[in-house]
Chains A and B, each alone.
Chain A
Amino acid sequence: MLATTSVGRKLVMAVTGIGLFLFVVGHLAGNLLIYAGPDALNAYALKLKEMPYVVWPARLVILSIFLVHIYLGLELYRQNREARPDKYFQEETLRADFASRHMLFTGLMILLFVVYHLLQFTFHAVPPPEHIYTTDLKGKEVTDVYTMVVQGFQTGGVSAIYILAQVFLALHLSHAMTSVFETFGWTATRFRGYIEKVGPIVATVICFGYITIPLAVLTGNLRLPDSVIEQQALEEMETNMIDVMPDPAGRRGDQS
């Protein structure tokens, strides 16, 4: 087994990491459809839903990649700690940046976030949003993902968690996406300067891509569709009405 040697473990880490990275990129591309409007995003979501034979295997693959990556990450961390049982009284760091020294931490933060994220948007177990709307897409009744996202991010706390998670992801990637080149040996002295920039640049781009969405929502650049606003207003009215209408039989008339 490859993962029984140090170099092998790192190779597996890098391969799974790249797998996860591809997912992250794909996911971002999908998310960015939000700027193309509700229909685009919802249509994309529908398309995925209509291909369960693709989506489910893909999910399984990603899940196992994720589990392998996490398991090995923990394992590496343990082994690396064991490789130096007695700590230094004084230890300076000359080169290793914050990101490289906190890979496990940022990784675990990502994990936490992923769990939360799934609970929120996939299993709808954690609000906001309270309700999931449906919408009419070319005559079909579909889940209104767009609204779900915008509603979610309208809550400041949710956006904050999301943004923070992207920062962790960025930190993770800023080391990881340079490190993979080194792990595979896709380097040469004359490219070294560039390769060392790949990680930070990729990380920044990805992070920025994801973060624009909650920012756009918070700054009002991404708004709920008019139909939803109307519907919401209506609902609000209804709830208000329920509040003030304990006796539909005649009080109103009394008041007027």
Chain B
Amino acid sequence: MNFTVMVWRQEGPKKQGRMETHKVSGITEDTSFLEMLDILNEELIEKGEEPIAFDHDCREGICGACSLHINGVAHGPENTTTCQLHMRSFDDGDTIVIEPFRARAFPVIKDLVVDRSGFERIIEAGGYVSVGTGGAPDANALPIAKDEAEEAFDAAACIGCGACVAACKNASAMLFTSAKVSQFTHLPQGEPERHQRVVNMVKAMDDAGFGNCTNYQECEAVCPKQISIMNIHTMNREYVKAKLAGTSATA
């Protein structure tokens, strides 16, 4: 298969970027999207041009590192992670447009690599149960209804890739943030810090420069782990409750 690849090149943070066009040829259908870029990069290096930088690590759809915006859609046409996308999803001769995930909160580091540390700040603000090592009771001392545990799991499956932010017309991080809030809302372990958690995490989300939620549902449509927007609703509800209880953000 042969493709024309239009790819975003940007030398560094705050530098001016541009789209660059390359041809790749002789790609087999079984080649993964990132392998196609590997091949292109090898060719670039051989030509003396710097390879295209992109984030990736596990290449099996679980670490959340890969983050390309392909043909106008976060992670491309298959509703998986970029690394799980294969070239058989494209037609021979296609032009493929590759861009970084774009958001103020995700500044470009280089080419297609962006800085997603805003997500770190959100989790740091309260995405946990404050339990120290060693003080835990026996694991079976706390039975949890299977349904609740399953719902908590559905939310916990988030891989933090940032596709939700990339797809949202407002670059909002509500799906990411709410998935963590919601996981702990479904679990008794999360109960004691329930109010403070949601208020602090929302504040951290805002401070990181993400947009607001308009309930577009674009996030859910691209999420490779099918995180549901119901989590956002849960978070909103939790937020109202926390506010009614008079909770305000602690730094």
- Answer yes or no: are A and B bound together in one complex: yes
Q: Which residues of A contact B (CB under 8 A)?
A: 2, 5-11, 76, 79-80, 82-96, 100-101, 103, 175, 178-179, 181-189, 192
Whether the pair A5, B202 counts as a contact (CB closer than 8 A) is yes
Whether the pair B169, A101 counts as a contact (CB closer than 8 A) is yes
Whether the pair B216, A84 counts as a contact (CB closer than 8 A) is no
**Cα distance A55–B213 in the bound complex, in angstroms:** 35
**Cα distance A75–B93 in the bound complex, in angstroms:** 44
Whether the pair B240, A79 counts as a contact (CB closer than 8 A) is no
Additional 18 contacts, C-beta under 8 A, given A83-B103, A84-B169: A5-B206, A6-B202, A6-B212, A7-B235, A7-B239, A11-B239, A82-B211, A83-B104, A83-B211, A93-B169, A93-B218, A96-B214, A179-B215, A183-B215, A185-B237, A186-B233, A186-B237, A187-B233
Interface assignment of B221: CB less than 8 Å from any CB of chain A: yes
What is the minimal beta-carbon distance from B86 to any residue of chain A, in angstroms?
20
**Cα distance A178–B216 in the bound complex, in angstroms:** 11
Q: Give the contact stretch, choosing among B39-47, B67-75, B132-140.
A: B67-75
Chain A binding surface, main DSSP class: helix
Whether the pair B19, A89 counts as a contact (CB closer than 8 A) is yes
Interface assignment of B232: CB less than 8 Å from any CB of chain A: yes
- With both beta carbons as reference points, the residue of chain B lying nearest to A179 in the complex is identified as B215
Which residues of chain A come closer than 8 Å to B243, judged between CB atoms?
A: 2, 8
Whether the pair B228, A189 counts as a contact (CB closer than 8 A) is yes
Whether the pair B228, A88 counts as a contact (CB closer than 8 A) is no
**Cα distance A94–B216 in the bound complex, in angstroms:** 10
Whether the pair A100, B105 counts as a contact (CB closer than 8 A) is no
Whether the pair B211, A79 counts as a contact (CB closer than 8 A) is yes
Whether the pair A184, B236 counts as a contact (CB closer than 8 A) is yes
- With both beta carbons as reference points, the residue of chain B lying nearest to A72 in the complex is identified as B212
- Interface positions of B from 175 to 220, Cβ below 8 Å from A: 202-203, 205-206, 209-218, 220
Known: A6-B205, A90-B97, A93-B218. A84 touches B230 (CB 8 A): no
Known: A90-B72, A100-B215. A192 touches B230 (CB 8 A): yes
Instruction: Tell which of B105, B233, B239, B240 touches A83, judged by Cβ atoms closer than 8 Å.
Output: B105
Q: Could you name 21 residue pairs across A and B whose Cβ atoms are closer than 8 Å? A: A5-B202, A6-B174, A7-B239, A10-B213, A79-B170, A82-B104, A82-B211, A83-B211, A88-B69, A89-B8, A90-B97, A92-B71, A178-B215, A185-B234, A185-B235, A185-B239, A185-B240, A187-B233, A188-B230, A189-B228, A192-B230
Which residues of chain A come closer than 8 Å to B99, judged between CB atoms?
A: 88-90
Interface assignment of B52: CB less than 8 Å from any CB of chain A: no
Interface assignment of B229: CB less than 8 Å from any CB of chain A: yes
- With both beta carbons as reference points, the residue of chain A lying nearest to B222 in the complex is identified as A94
- Interface positions of B from 93 to 128, Cβ below 8 Å from A: 97, 99, 102-105
Whether the pair B217, A96 counts as a contact (CB closer than 8 A) is yes
**Cα distance A92–B99 in the bound complex, in angstroms:** 13
Whether the pair A95, B216 counts as a contact (CB closer than 8 A) is yes
- With both beta carbons as reference points, the residue of chain A lying nearest to B249 in the complex is identified as A5
